[in-house]
Structure 1
Amino acid sequence: MDDLASFLRNRRARVVPAEVGIATDTRRRVEGLRREEVAHLSGVSVDYYVRLEQGRATQPSEQVLDALARVLGLDATEREHLDRLARRPRRRTKPPAGKVRPELQRMLDLVAGAPAMIMNHRTDVLAGNNLAALLFGRPLPELNTARHLFLEEDERGLYADWDTCTLDVVGHLRLSAGKYPDDPRLASLIGELAMGSDRFRRLWARADVCARTHGPKRYRHPLVGRLDLHQETFAVPGESGLELVVLSAAPGTPAEDGLRLLAGFAAG
Protein backbone atom coordinates (compact mmCIF):
# COMPACT_ATOMS: atom_id res chain seq x y z
CA MET A 1 0.00 0.00 0.00
CA ASP A 2 2.91 2.33 0.64
CA ASP A 3 6.67 2.03 0.44
CA LEU A 4 9.84 3.94 1.10
CA ALA A 5 10.79 4.25 -2.57
CA SER A 6 7.59 5.98 -3.70
CA PHE A 7 7.56 8.25 -0.64
CA LEU A 8 11.10 9.45 -1.36
CA ARG A 9 10.34 10.05 -5.04
CA ASN A 10 7.25 12.12 -4.26
CA ARG A 11 8.95 14.19 -1.58
CA ARG A 12 12.00 14.82 -3.79
CA ALA A 13 9.78 16.20 -6.56
CA ARG A 14 8.36 18.82 -4.19
CA VAL A 15 11.56 20.42 -3.01
CA VAL A 16 12.24 23.85 -4.52
CA PRO A 17 15.93 23.78 -5.53
CA ALA A 18 16.53 27.42 -4.58
CA GLU A 19 15.36 26.70 -1.03
CA VAL A 20 18.23 24.25 -0.53
CA GLY A 21 20.83 26.43 -2.22
CA ILE A 22 20.73 25.03 -5.75
CA ALA A 23 20.67 27.59 -8.54
CA THR A 24 18.51 26.77 -11.57
CA ASP A 25 17.80 28.23 -14.97
CA THR A 26 15.02 27.99 -17.54
CA ARG A 27 16.59 24.91 -19.14
CA ARG A 28 16.02 22.77 -16.07
CA ARG A 29 13.28 20.21 -16.78
CA VAL A 30 13.40 18.19 -13.56
CA GLU A 31 10.58 18.77 -11.11
CA GLY A 32 12.08 19.27 -7.67
CA LEU A 33 15.54 17.87 -6.99
CA ARG A 34 17.58 15.40 -8.98
CA ARG A 35 18.59 12.17 -7.29
CA GLU A 36 22.24 13.13 -7.28
CA GLU A 37 21.37 16.46 -5.65
CA VAL A 38 19.50 14.74 -2.82
CA ALA A 39 22.43 12.36 -2.38
CA HIS A 40 24.97 15.20 -2.26
CA LEU A 41 22.94 17.29 0.19
CA SER A 42 22.30 14.24 2.39
CA GLY A 43 25.91 13.10 2.44
CA VAL A 44 25.27 9.67 0.90
CA SER A 45 26.52 8.18 -2.35
CA VAL A 46 24.43 8.61 -5.47
CA ASP A 47 24.38 4.84 -5.97
CA TYR A 48 23.01 4.26 -2.47
CA TYR A 49 20.28 6.88 -2.86
CA VAL A 50 19.29 5.47 -6.26
CA ARG A 51 18.97 2.04 -4.66
CA LEU A 52 16.73 3.53 -1.96
CA GLU A 53 14.40 5.00 -4.57
CA GLN A 54 14.38 1.74 -6.50
CA GLY A 55 13.53 -0.30 -3.39
CA ARG A 56 16.85 -2.18 -3.57
CA ALA A 57 18.36 -0.82 -0.35
CA THR A 58 16.86 -1.60 3.05
CA GLN A 59 17.38 -0.52 6.64
CA PRO A 60 19.02 2.91 6.16
CA SER A 61 20.66 4.21 9.32
CA GLU A 62 19.11 6.81 11.60
CA GLN A 63 21.73 9.32 10.45
CA VAL A 64 20.77 8.78 6.79
CA LEU A 65 17.07 9.16 7.59
CA ASP A 66 17.72 12.36 9.54
CA ALA A 67 19.72 13.77 6.62
CA LEU A 68 17.04 12.84 4.09
CA ALA A 69 14.32 14.35 6.26
CA ARG A 70 16.29 17.60 6.48
CA VAL A 71 16.92 17.83 2.74
CA LEU A 72 13.37 16.87 1.81
CA GLY A 73 11.88 19.29 4.35
CA LEU A 74 9.79 16.68 6.18
CA ASP A 75 7.62 17.72 9.10
CA ALA A 76 7.38 15.64 12.29
CA THR A 77 4.56 13.43 10.98
CA GLU A 78 6.36 12.79 7.69
CA ARG A 79 9.63 12.07 9.52
CA GLU A 80 7.91 9.46 11.68
CA HIS A 81 6.31 7.97 8.57
CA LEU A 82 9.71 7.81 6.84
CA ASP A 83 11.19 5.96 9.79
CA ARG A 84 8.28 3.52 9.85
CA LEU A 85 8.61 2.74 6.15
CA ALA A 86 12.37 2.26 6.47
CA ARG A 87 12.02 -0.10 9.46
CA ARG A 88 9.01 -2.04 8.16
CA PRO A 89 10.68 -5.45 7.70
CA ARG A 90 11.71 -5.58 11.37
CA ARG A 91 8.36 -5.22 13.06
CA ARG A 92 4.74 -5.44 12.03
CA THR A 93 2.04 -3.57 13.93
CA LYS A 94 -1.18 -5.47 14.48
CA PRO A 95 -4.31 -3.55 13.42
CA PRO A 96 -6.47 -2.48 16.37
CA ALA A 97 -9.58 -4.40 17.32
CA GLY A 98 -12.90 -3.29 15.85
CA LYS A 99 -14.92 -3.25 19.06
CA VAL A 100 -15.48 -0.46 21.54
CA ARG A 101 -15.73 -1.13 25.26
CA PRO A 102 -19.20 -0.38 26.77
CA GLU A 103 -17.54 2.14 29.09
CA LEU A 104 -16.38 4.16 26.09
CA GLN A 105 -19.88 4.23 24.64
CA ARG A 106 -21.17 5.42 28.01
CA MET A 107 -18.59 8.21 27.97
CA LEU A 108 -19.69 9.26 24.47
CA ASP A 109 -23.31 9.42 25.60
CA LEU A 110 -22.28 11.76 28.43
CA VAL A 111 -20.82 14.29 26.00
CA ALA A 112 -23.52 16.98 25.78
CA GLY A 113 -23.87 19.56 23.05
CA ALA A 114 -21.19 18.21 20.71
CA PRO A 115 -20.99 15.32 18.23
CA ALA A 116 -18.51 12.78 19.59
CA MET A 117 -17.36 9.48 18.11
CA ILE A 118 -14.61 6.88 18.22
CA MET A 119 -12.83 6.11 14.95
CA ASN A 120 -10.20 3.62 13.89
CA HIS A 121 -7.26 3.93 11.50
CA ARG A 122 -9.49 2.99 8.53
CA THR A 123 -11.83 5.95 9.28
CA ASP A 124 -14.57 3.57 10.41
CA VAL A 125 -16.80 5.17 13.04
CA LEU A 126 -17.06 2.44 15.67
CA ALA A 127 -19.28 4.32 18.12
CA GLY A 128 -20.75 7.75 18.70
CA ASN A 129 -23.38 9.75 20.51
CA ASN A 130 -26.81 10.64 19.13
CA LEU A 131 -25.69 14.08 18.03
CA ALA A 132 -22.96 12.58 15.85
CA ALA A 133 -25.47 10.21 14.26
CA LEU A 134 -27.76 13.15 13.50
CA LEU A 135 -24.87 15.16 12.04
CA PHE A 136 -24.08 12.42 9.51
CA GLY A 137 -27.70 11.34 9.08
CA ARG A 138 -27.14 7.61 9.55
CA PRO A 139 -26.34 4.94 12.15
CA LEU A 140 -22.68 5.45 13.00
CA PRO A 141 -21.51 1.83 13.03
CA GLU A 142 -22.33 1.79 9.30
CA LEU A 143 -20.25 4.90 8.54
CA ASN A 144 -16.78 4.99 7.05
CA THR A 145 -15.94 8.67 6.64
CA ALA A 146 -13.49 8.14 3.75
CA ARG A 147 -16.06 6.16 1.75
CA HIS A 148 -18.75 8.71 2.66
CA LEU A 149 -16.52 11.60 1.58
CA PHE A 150 -15.29 10.22 -1.75
CA LEU A 151 -18.07 7.92 -2.94
CA GLU A 152 -21.26 9.43 -1.52
CA GLU A 153 -20.64 13.18 -1.14
CA ASP A 154 -19.08 15.96 -3.21
CA GLU A 155 -18.24 19.65 -2.82
CA ARG A 156 -21.97 20.51 -2.80
CA GLY A 157 -22.90 18.05 -0.05
CA LEU A 158 -22.49 17.76 3.71
CA TYR A 159 -18.83 18.81 3.83
CA ALA A 160 -18.55 22.57 3.25
CA ASP A 161 -14.75 22.26 3.10
CA TRP A 162 -14.83 19.11 0.96
CA ASP A 163 -11.52 19.78 -0.80
CA THR A 164 -9.65 20.18 2.48
CA CYS A 165 -11.37 17.15 4.00
CA THR A 166 -10.32 14.97 1.08
CA LEU A 167 -6.69 16.03 1.54
CA ASP A 168 -6.83 15.27 5.26
CA VAL A 169 -8.47 11.86 4.84
CA VAL A 170 -6.04 10.68 2.16
CA GLY A 171 -3.14 11.84 4.32
CA HIS A 172 -4.55 9.93 7.26
CA LEU A 173 -5.03 6.75 5.20
CA ARG A 174 -1.47 7.05 3.86
CA LEU A 175 -0.23 7.28 7.43
CA SER A 176 -2.32 4.25 8.40
CA ALA A 177 -0.98 2.28 5.44
CA GLY A 178 2.52 2.84 6.79
CA LYS A 179 1.53 1.77 10.30
CA TYR A 180 -0.55 -1.27 9.30
CA PRO A 181 0.82 -2.59 5.99
CA ASP A 182 -0.66 -6.05 6.61
CA ASP A 183 -4.26 -4.93 7.19
CA PRO A 184 -6.34 -6.49 4.37
CA ARG A 185 -9.42 -4.42 5.17
CA LEU A 186 -7.43 -1.21 4.85
CA ALA A 187 -5.98 -2.39 1.54
CA SER A 188 -9.48 -3.26 0.34
CA LEU A 189 -10.81 0.19 1.31
CA ILE A 190 -7.98 1.95 -0.50
CA GLY A 191 -8.61 -0.15 -3.59
CA GLU A 192 -12.34 0.60 -3.46
CA LEU A 193 -11.71 4.34 -3.18
CA ALA A 194 -9.16 4.28 -5.99
CA MET A 195 -11.60 2.46 -8.26
CA GLY A 196 -14.48 4.80 -7.47
CA SER A 197 -12.93 8.25 -7.22
CA ASP A 198 -10.66 10.14 -9.61
CA ARG A 199 -9.82 12.65 -6.90
CA PHE A 200 -8.78 9.92 -4.51
CA ARG A 201 -6.43 8.43 -7.12
CA ARG A 202 -4.83 11.81 -7.74
CA LEU A 203 -4.36 12.59 -4.07
CA TRP A 204 -3.11 9.09 -3.24
CA ALA A 205 -0.40 9.42 -5.89
CA ARG A 206 0.98 12.46 -4.06
CA ALA A 207 1.96 10.28 -1.06
CA ASP A 208 1.07 12.99 1.48
CA VAL A 209 0.69 11.96 5.10
CA CYS A 210 -1.02 13.77 7.96
CA ALA A 211 -2.33 12.94 11.42
CA ARG A 212 -5.79 13.74 12.73
CA THR A 213 -5.24 16.42 15.35
CA HIS A 214 -7.38 19.56 15.59
CA GLY A 215 -8.80 22.26 13.38
CA PRO A 216 -11.95 23.64 11.77
CA LYS A 217 -14.61 21.39 10.28
CA ARG A 218 -17.47 22.93 8.32
CA TYR A 219 -20.72 21.23 7.40
CA ARG A 220 -23.93 22.03 5.50
CA HIS A 221 -26.58 20.15 7.42
CA PRO A 222 -29.93 19.58 5.67
CA LEU A 223 -31.90 20.25 8.88
CA VAL A 224 -30.02 23.07 10.63
CA GLY A 225 -27.89 24.66 7.89
CA ARG A 226 -24.26 25.72 8.14
CA LEU A 227 -22.25 24.39 11.08
CA ASP A 228 -18.75 25.80 11.60
CA LEU A 229 -17.26 23.45 14.15
CA HIS A 230 -13.87 22.71 15.69
CA GLN A 231 -12.45 19.19 15.79
CA GLU A 232 -10.26 17.86 18.58
CA THR A 233 -8.81 14.36 18.35
CA PHE A 234 -7.54 12.29 21.28
CA ALA A 235 -5.86 8.90 21.32
CA VAL A 236 -7.93 6.41 23.34
CA PRO A 237 -5.71 5.09 26.18
CA GLY A 238 -5.12 1.36 26.05
CA GLU A 239 -6.78 1.08 22.62
CA SER A 240 -4.03 1.32 20.02
CA GLY A 241 -5.17 2.97 16.80
CA LEU A 242 -8.50 4.24 18.15
CA GLU A 243 -9.20 7.94 18.50
CA LEU A 244 -11.91 10.03 20.15
CA VAL A 245 -13.12 12.82 17.87
CA VAL A 246 -15.19 15.68 19.31
CA LEU A 247 -16.76 18.41 17.15
CA SER A 248 -17.60 21.51 19.17
CA ALA A 249 -19.04 24.94 18.43
CA ALA A 250 -17.69 28.20 19.84
CA PRO A 251 -20.02 29.78 22.44
CA GLY A 252 -22.48 32.33 21.13
CA THR A 253 -22.13 31.34 17.48
CA PRO A 254 -24.78 30.23 14.97
CA ALA A 255 -23.12 26.82 15.03
CA GLU A 256 -23.84 26.50 18.75
CA ASP A 257 -27.49 27.31 18.05
CA GLY A 258 -27.46 24.77 15.22
CA LEU A 259 -26.11 22.00 17.44
CA ARG A 260 -28.66 22.87 20.11
CA LEU A 261 -31.42 22.61 17.51
CA LEU A 262 -29.99 19.32 16.25
CA ALA A 263 -29.89 17.99 19.82
CA GLY A 264 -33.60 18.79 20.00
CA PHE A 265 -34.22 16.30 17.25
CA ALA A 266 -32.35 13.68 19.27
CA ALA A 267 -34.52 14.40 22.31
CA GLY A 268 -37.73 14.45 20.31
Structure 2
Amino acid sequence: MAVTALGEYLRARRAQVRPEEVGVPKYGVRRVPGLRREEVATLAGVSVDYYIRLEQGRENSPSPQVLDALSDVLRLDDDAREHLYRVAGLTPGTSRATAPERVDPELLRLMDMWPDNPAIVLGRAYDVLAGNQLAYALFDGFQHGPNLLMKIFLDPGARSFYPDWERVARYTVAGFRLLEGRTPNDPRIREVVDELSRRSADFAEMWNRHEARGARLASKRFRHPDVGELTLRINAFDVKSAPGQELIVYHAEPGSRSAEALALLGTLAVTEALG
Protein backbone atom coordinates (compact mmCIF):
# COMPACT_ATOMS: atom_id res chain seq x y z
CA MET A 1 0.00 0.00 0.00
CA ALA A 2 1.40 3.43 -0.96
CA VAL A 3 2.67 5.48 1.96
CA THR A 4 1.72 9.14 1.78
CA ALA A 5 3.18 12.15 3.57
CA LEU A 6 -0.24 12.77 5.09
CA GLY A 7 -0.52 9.23 6.42
CA GLU A 8 2.99 9.31 7.87
CA TYR A 9 2.33 12.63 9.56
CA LEU A 10 -0.96 11.51 11.10
CA ARG A 11 0.56 8.31 12.44
CA ALA A 12 3.58 10.08 13.89
CA ARG A 13 1.52 12.77 15.61
CA ARG A 14 -1.07 10.30 16.88
CA ALA A 15 1.67 8.35 18.64
CA GLN A 16 2.74 11.47 20.55
CA VAL A 17 -0.60 12.34 22.14
CA ARG A 18 -1.19 10.78 25.55
CA PRO A 19 -4.79 9.59 26.06
CA GLU A 20 -5.18 11.63 29.25
CA GLU A 21 -4.29 14.81 27.35
CA VAL A 22 -7.53 14.56 25.37
CA GLY A 23 -9.75 13.04 28.04
CA VAL A 24 -9.55 9.41 26.93
CA PRO A 25 -9.70 6.96 29.85
CA LYS A 26 -6.65 4.73 30.04
CA TYR A 27 -7.55 1.14 30.95
CA GLY A 28 -5.23 -1.85 31.00
CA VAL A 29 -2.25 -2.36 28.70
CA ARG A 30 -2.21 -0.36 25.47
CA ARG A 31 -0.49 -1.97 22.50
CA VAL A 32 0.19 1.31 20.71
CA PRO A 33 1.91 4.50 21.88
CA GLY A 34 -0.36 7.52 22.03
CA LEU A 35 -3.89 7.35 20.69
CA ARG A 36 -5.57 4.52 18.80
CA ARG A 37 -6.97 5.18 15.32
CA GLU A 38 -10.55 4.74 16.50
CA GLU A 39 -9.96 7.23 19.34
CA VAL A 40 -8.68 9.87 16.92
CA ALA A 41 -11.64 9.25 14.59
CA THR A 42 -14.20 9.50 17.39
CA LEU A 43 -12.70 12.68 18.84
CA ALA A 44 -12.47 14.27 15.36
CA GLY A 45 -16.05 13.33 14.47
CA VAL A 46 -15.21 11.16 11.45
CA SER A 47 -15.79 7.48 10.82
CA VAL A 48 -13.10 5.02 11.83
CA ASP A 49 -12.97 3.64 8.28
CA TYR A 50 -12.45 7.13 6.83
CA TYR A 51 -9.61 7.90 9.25
CA ILE A 52 -7.93 4.55 8.53
CA ARG A 53 -8.09 5.32 4.83
CA LEU A 54 -6.40 8.69 5.49
CA GLU A 55 -3.51 7.01 7.31
CA GLN A 56 -3.20 4.26 4.71
CA GLY A 57 -3.16 6.65 1.76
CA ARG A 58 -6.44 5.42 0.30
CA GLU A 59 -8.07 8.80 0.96
CA ASN A 60 -6.16 11.90 -0.10
CA SER A 61 -8.73 14.70 -0.17
CA PRO A 62 -9.75 15.61 3.40
CA SER A 63 -11.75 18.80 3.80
CA PRO A 64 -10.45 21.81 5.77
CA GLN A 65 -13.06 21.00 8.42
CA VAL A 66 -11.65 17.49 8.86
CA LEU A 67 -8.09 18.82 9.05
CA ASP A 68 -9.10 21.39 11.66
CA ALA A 69 -10.77 18.68 13.74
CA LEU A 70 -7.70 16.43 13.47
CA SER A 71 -5.44 19.35 14.39
CA ASP A 72 -7.41 19.84 17.59
CA VAL A 73 -7.33 16.15 18.51
CA LEU A 74 -3.61 15.86 17.77
CA ARG A 75 -2.92 19.07 19.70
CA LEU A 76 -1.13 20.75 16.80
CA ASP A 77 0.10 24.31 17.19
CA ASP A 78 -0.15 26.85 14.34
CA ASP A 79 3.04 25.68 12.60
CA ALA A 80 2.13 22.00 12.84
CA ARG A 81 -1.41 22.74 11.62
CA GLU A 82 0.01 24.59 8.62
CA HIS A 83 2.23 21.60 7.88
CA LEU A 84 -0.78 19.26 8.08
CA TYR A 85 -2.58 21.39 5.48
CA ARG A 86 0.42 21.31 3.20
CA VAL A 87 0.97 17.55 3.31
CA ALA A 88 -2.76 17.15 2.65
CA GLY A 89 -2.36 19.24 -0.51
CA LEU A 90 -4.68 22.07 0.54
CA THR A 91 -1.95 24.69 0.72
CA PRO A 92 0.12 24.95 -2.46
CA GLY A 93 3.82 24.36 -2.10
CA THR A 94 6.34 26.31 -4.11
CA SER A 95 7.60 25.06 -7.44
CA ARG A 96 10.58 22.78 -7.79
CA ALA A 97 13.64 24.93 -7.18
CA THR A 98 16.83 23.96 -8.97
CA ALA A 99 18.61 27.24 -9.73
CA PRO A 100 21.80 27.96 -7.75
CA GLU A 101 21.16 30.30 -4.84
CA ARG A 102 23.01 33.61 -4.75
CA VAL A 103 23.16 36.30 -2.10
CA ASP A 104 22.42 39.90 -3.05
CA PRO A 105 25.73 41.86 -3.09
CA GLU A 106 24.04 44.68 -1.18
CA LEU A 107 23.15 42.26 1.61
CA LEU A 108 26.75 41.05 1.72
CA ARG A 109 27.96 44.64 2.10
CA LEU A 110 25.42 45.24 4.86
CA MET A 111 26.58 42.18 6.79
CA ASP A 112 30.19 43.34 6.57
CA MET A 113 29.11 46.61 8.23
CA TRP A 114 28.26 44.64 11.41
CA PRO A 115 31.72 43.74 12.76
CA ASP A 116 30.30 43.18 16.26
CA ASN A 117 27.43 40.87 15.24
CA PRO A 118 27.78 37.42 13.67
CA ALA A 119 25.46 37.27 10.66
CA ILE A 120 24.74 34.48 8.17
CA VAL A 121 22.40 33.94 5.24
CA LEU A 122 20.67 30.57 5.06
CA GLY A 123 19.33 29.13 1.82
CA ARG A 124 16.22 27.08 1.19
CA ALA A 125 17.74 23.91 2.71
CA TYR A 126 19.62 25.59 5.58
CA ASP A 127 22.74 25.85 3.42
CA VAL A 128 24.99 28.64 4.69
CA LEU A 129 25.22 30.86 1.63
CA ALA A 130 27.23 33.66 3.23
CA GLY A 131 28.52 34.94 6.53
CA ASN A 132 30.49 37.88 7.83
CA GLN A 133 33.93 37.54 9.40
CA LEU A 134 32.66 37.21 12.96
CA ALA A 135 30.13 34.51 11.98
CA TYR A 136 32.82 32.36 10.42
CA ALA A 137 34.95 32.84 13.53
CA LEU A 138 32.04 31.82 15.76
CA PHE A 139 31.10 28.72 13.77
CA ASP A 140 34.73 27.76 13.16
CA GLY A 141 34.51 27.31 9.42
CA PHE A 142 31.23 25.38 9.29
CA GLN A 143 32.77 21.92 9.18
CA HIS A 144 30.73 19.25 7.38
CA GLY A 145 28.79 21.89 5.50
CA PRO A 146 28.32 24.52 4.68
CA ASN A 147 24.91 23.42 5.97
CA LEU A 148 23.50 24.13 9.42
CA LEU A 149 21.86 20.70 9.82
CA MET A 150 25.04 18.96 8.68
CA LYS A 151 27.04 20.82 11.30
CA ILE A 152 24.60 19.97 14.08
CA PHE A 153 24.39 16.24 13.31
CA LEU A 154 27.67 15.33 11.60
CA ASP A 155 30.31 17.65 13.05
CA PRO A 156 32.15 15.67 15.77
CA GLY A 157 32.45 18.82 17.89
CA ALA A 158 28.79 19.84 17.65
CA ARG A 159 27.71 18.49 21.03
CA SER A 160 30.49 20.43 22.70
CA PHE A 161 29.89 23.55 20.61
CA TYR A 162 26.17 23.54 21.49
CA PRO A 163 25.86 22.89 25.27
CA ASP A 164 22.08 22.48 24.73
CA TRP A 165 22.61 20.22 21.73
CA GLU A 166 19.40 18.18 21.90
CA ARG A 167 17.20 21.27 22.25
CA VAL A 168 18.97 23.02 19.37
CA ALA A 169 18.78 19.90 17.21
CA ARG A 170 15.06 19.33 17.80
CA TYR A 171 14.15 22.94 17.04
CA THR A 172 16.24 22.90 13.87
CA VAL A 173 14.74 19.63 12.64
CA ALA A 174 11.20 20.88 13.38
CA GLY A 175 11.90 24.03 11.37
CA PHE A 176 13.29 21.95 8.52
CA ARG A 177 10.18 19.75 8.57
CA LEU A 178 8.01 22.84 8.09
CA LEU A 179 10.30 23.99 5.28
CA GLU A 180 10.05 20.58 3.60
CA GLY A 181 6.27 20.78 3.76
CA ARG A 182 6.32 24.12 1.95
CA THR A 183 8.65 22.90 -0.82
CA PRO A 184 8.11 19.13 -0.96
CA ASN A 185 9.73 18.69 -4.38
CA ASP A 186 12.92 20.65 -3.76
CA PRO A 187 15.85 18.36 -4.68
CA ARG A 188 18.31 20.01 -2.28
CA ILE A 189 15.98 19.56 0.70
CA ARG A 190 15.49 15.91 -0.28
CA GLU A 191 19.26 15.48 -0.61
CA VAL A 192 19.90 16.85 2.91
CA VAL A 193 17.17 14.68 4.46
CA ASP A 194 18.37 11.53 2.67
CA GLU A 195 22.02 12.03 3.60
CA LEU A 196 21.32 12.81 7.24
CA SER A 197 18.83 9.95 7.54
CA ARG A 198 21.54 7.62 6.29
CA ARG A 199 24.41 9.01 8.37
CA SER A 200 22.79 10.11 11.64
CA ALA A 201 20.53 7.92 13.77
CA ASP A 202 19.75 10.96 15.93
CA PHE A 203 18.50 12.90 12.93
CA ALA A 204 16.45 9.96 11.68
CA GLU A 205 14.76 9.59 15.07
CA MET A 206 13.93 13.31 15.32
CA TRP A 207 12.80 13.50 11.67
CA ASN A 208 10.43 10.58 12.15
CA ARG A 209 8.69 12.41 15.00
CA HIS A 210 7.25 14.74 12.33
CA GLU A 211 7.45 17.80 14.58
CA ALA A 212 6.90 21.01 12.58
CA ARG A 213 7.71 24.36 14.12
CA GLY A 214 8.52 27.72 12.55
CA ALA A 215 9.63 29.70 15.59
CA ARG A 216 13.36 29.64 16.21
CA LEU A 217 15.00 29.64 19.59
CA ALA A 218 15.24 33.16 20.98
CA SER A 219 18.80 32.52 22.15
CA LYS A 220 21.49 29.85 21.98
CA ARG A 221 24.45 28.91 24.08
CA PHE A 222 27.76 28.28 22.34
CA ARG A 223 31.02 26.92 23.73
CA HIS A 224 33.85 28.24 21.56
CA PRO A 225 37.32 26.71 21.87
CA ASP A 226 39.03 30.13 21.95
CA VAL A 227 36.73 32.35 24.02
CA GLY A 228 34.63 29.95 26.10
CA GLU A 229 30.88 29.98 26.58
CA LEU A 230 28.59 32.60 25.04
CA THR A 231 24.84 33.13 25.17
CA LEU A 232 23.66 35.01 22.07
CA ARG A 233 20.23 36.34 21.15
CA ILE A 234 18.93 35.50 17.68
CA ASN A 235 17.04 37.63 15.17
CA ALA A 236 15.83 36.09 11.90
CA PHE A 237 14.64 38.03 8.85
CA ASP A 238 13.19 36.83 5.55
CA VAL A 239 15.18 38.14 2.59
CA LYS A 240 12.51 39.77 0.45
CA SER A 241 14.72 39.99 -2.63
CA ALA A 242 15.32 36.21 -2.55
CA PRO A 243 12.30 34.23 -1.27
CA GLY A 244 13.45 31.20 0.72
CA GLN A 245 16.58 32.89 2.04
CA GLU A 246 16.86 33.98 5.66
CA LEU A 247 19.20 36.42 7.37
CA ILE A 248 20.23 35.35 10.91
CA VAL A 249 21.88 37.92 13.18
CA TYR A 250 23.31 37.16 16.63
CA HIS A 251 24.00 39.61 19.46
CA ALA A 252 25.05 39.52 23.09
CA GLU A 253 23.55 41.36 26.03
CA PRO A 254 25.58 44.61 26.41
CA GLY A 255 28.03 44.47 29.29
CA SER A 256 27.67 40.72 29.74
CA ARG A 257 30.35 38.07 29.85
CA SER A 258 29.08 36.92 26.45
CA ALA A 259 29.58 40.43 25.02
CA GLU A 260 33.18 40.39 26.25
CA ALA A 261 33.76 36.95 24.72
CA LEU A 262 32.24 38.05 21.41
CA ALA A 263 34.46 41.15 21.34
CA LEU A 264 37.51 38.99 22.02
CA LEU A 265 36.48 36.63 19.23
CA GLY A 266 36.22 39.61 16.87
CA THR A 267 39.72 40.75 17.80
CA LEU A 268 41.12 37.27 17.22
CA ALA A 269 39.36 37.07 13.84
CA VAL A 270 40.81 40.39 12.70
CA THR A 271 44.29 39.42 13.91
CA GLU A 272 44.11 36.12 12.04
CA ALA A 273 42.88 37.83 8.87
CA LEU A 274 45.81 40.25 8.99
CA GLY A 275 48.22 37.32 9.29
TM over 0.5: yes
Aligned to 1:241: 244
Q: How far apart are the structure 1 equivalents of 2:234 and 2:65?
A: 36
Give, in whole Å, the separation in 2 of the partners of 1:139 and 1:63. Answer: 45
Would you say 1:173 and 2:176 are equivalent positions?
Answer: yes
> What is the CA-CA distance between 1:169 and the residue it aligns to?
2.0
Query: Hey, what's the Cα distance between the residues in 2 that align with 1:2 and 1:219?
Result: 38
State the partner residue of 1:210.
213
- The count of residues paired between Structure 1 and Structure 2 equals 268
Shift in CA distance, 157/38, structure 1 to aligned 2, threshold 3 Å: same
Alignment partner, residue 202 of structure 2: 199
* Mean Cα deviation higher: 67-76 or 96-105: 96-105
- RMSD of Structure 2 on Structure 1 (CA): 2.2
Distance 1:20 1:221 in 2: 44
Deviation, 1:151, is 1.0
Pair 1:129 & 2:105 matched:
no
TM-score of the superposed pair, with normalisation by structure 2: 0.90
Match of 1:152 in 2: 155
Identical positions, percent:
43
Specify the code of the residue in structure 2 equivalent to 1:114: N
Q: For residues 23 and 189 of structure 2, what CA distance do their matches in structure 1 show?
A: 40
What is the aligned partner in structure 1 of residue 40 from structure 2?
Answer: 38
Contact (CA 8 Å) 1:123, 1:145: kept in 2 or not? Answer: yes
Between the aligned partners of 1:14 and 1:196, the Cα distance in structure 2 is: 25
Find the counterpart in structure 2 of residue 49 from structure 1: 51
Q: Which position in structure 2 is the counterpart of 1:111? A: 114
**Separation in 2, partners of 1:91, 1:226:** 40
SS at structure 1 position matched to 2:89: helix
What secondary structure, in the 3-state scheme, does the structure 1 residue paired with 2:190 have?
Answer: helix
- Cα distance between partner residues in 2 of 1:225 and 1:143: 23
Please state whether the residue corresponding to 1:157 is helix, strand or coil: helix
Runs of 5+ unmatched residues, structure 2: none
Shift of 1:155: 5.7
Please list every run of 5 or more consecutive structure 1 residues that lacks an aligned counterpart in the other structure: none
Bigger CA drift: 156-165 or 35-44?
Answer: 156-165
